Structure 1
Amino acid sequence: MRIDISLLPALAAAFMLVFARIGAMVMLLPGFGESNIPMRVKLSIALALTLIMLPAHRAGYNVDMTSMTPMLVLMLREIVIGIVLGATARVTISALQVAGSVIAQQLGLGFVTSVDPTQGQQGVLIGNFLNLLGMTLIFATDTHHLVIAALSDSYKIFSPGEVLPTGDVAKLATNAFTAAFKIGVQLAAPFLVFGLVFNMGLGVLARLMPQMQVYFVGVPLSIMIGFLIFALVLSAMMGTYMDYFAGVMHQMMPRT
Structure 2
Amino acid sequence: MAPVFTVNSVQWAAWMAAFLWPFVRMLALVSTAPIFGESWVPRRTKVAIAALLAVVLGPTLGPMPDTPVVSAGGVWILVQQVLIGGAMGLVMRMVFAAVMAAGEYIGLQMGLSFASFFDPMGGGSTMVVARLLNMLAMLIFLAVDGHLLLVAALVQSFHILPVADAPLAAQGWMVLALAGGQIFSTGLMLSLPLVTALLTLNLAMGILNRASPQFSIFAVGFPLTLLAGIGMLQLLMPQLGAFLAPRFSGGLDTLARFAQLLRP
Deviations 1:82-121 (A, max 9, x none): 1111111212111111000000111111111124365564
Match of 1:124 among 124, 127, 130: 127
Do structure 1's residue 5 and structure 2's residue 7 form an aligned pair? yes
* Match in the other structure for 2:113: 110
Deviates more, 1:88-97 or 1:65-74: 65-74
* Match in the other structure for 2:189: 186
C-alpha spacing 1:117/1:73, structure 2 compared with 1 (3 Å)? closer
> How far is 1:175 from its partner?
2.1
Secondary structure of the residue aligned to 2:126 is strand
8 Å CA contact 2:91, 2:254 repeated in 1: no
- Percent identical residues: 27
8 Å CA contact 2:69, 2:75 repeated in 1: no
Do structure 1's residue 53 and structure 2's residue 66 form an aligned pair? no
* Match in the other structure for 1:84: 87
Amino acid at match of 2:138: M
* Match in the other structure for 1:31: 35
Secondary structure of the residue aligned to 1:63 is coil
TM-score (norm 1): 0.92
8 Å CA contact 1:35, 1:119 repeated in 2: no
Distance 1:233 1:16 in 2: 45
Q: Which runs of 4+ in 1 moved over 6 A?
A: none
* Match in the other structure for 2:238: 235
Amino acid at match of 1:3: F
Match of 2:96 among 93, 96, 113: 93
* Match in the other structure for 1:17: 21
* Match in the other structure for 1:173: 176
Query: Which segments of 5 or more consecutive residues in structure 2 lack a partner in the other structure?
Result: none
Superposed CA RMSD: 2.1
Distance 2:148 2:69 in 1: 38
8 Å CA contact 1:106, 1:195 repeated in 2: yes
Distance 1:69 1:106 in 2: 54
C-alpha spacing 1:116/1:140, structure 2 compared with 1 (3 Å)? farther
8 Å CA contact 1:150, 1:253 repeated in 2: yes
C-alpha spacing 1:172/1:156, structure 2 compared with 1 (3 Å)? farther
Query: Which segments of 5 or more consecutive residues in structure 1 lack a partner in the other structure?
Result: none
8 Å CA contact 1:63, 1:70 repeated in 2: no
- How do residues 156-235 of structure 1 correspond to structure 2 at under 5 angstroms? 156-161=159-164, 162-169=166-173, 171-235=174-238
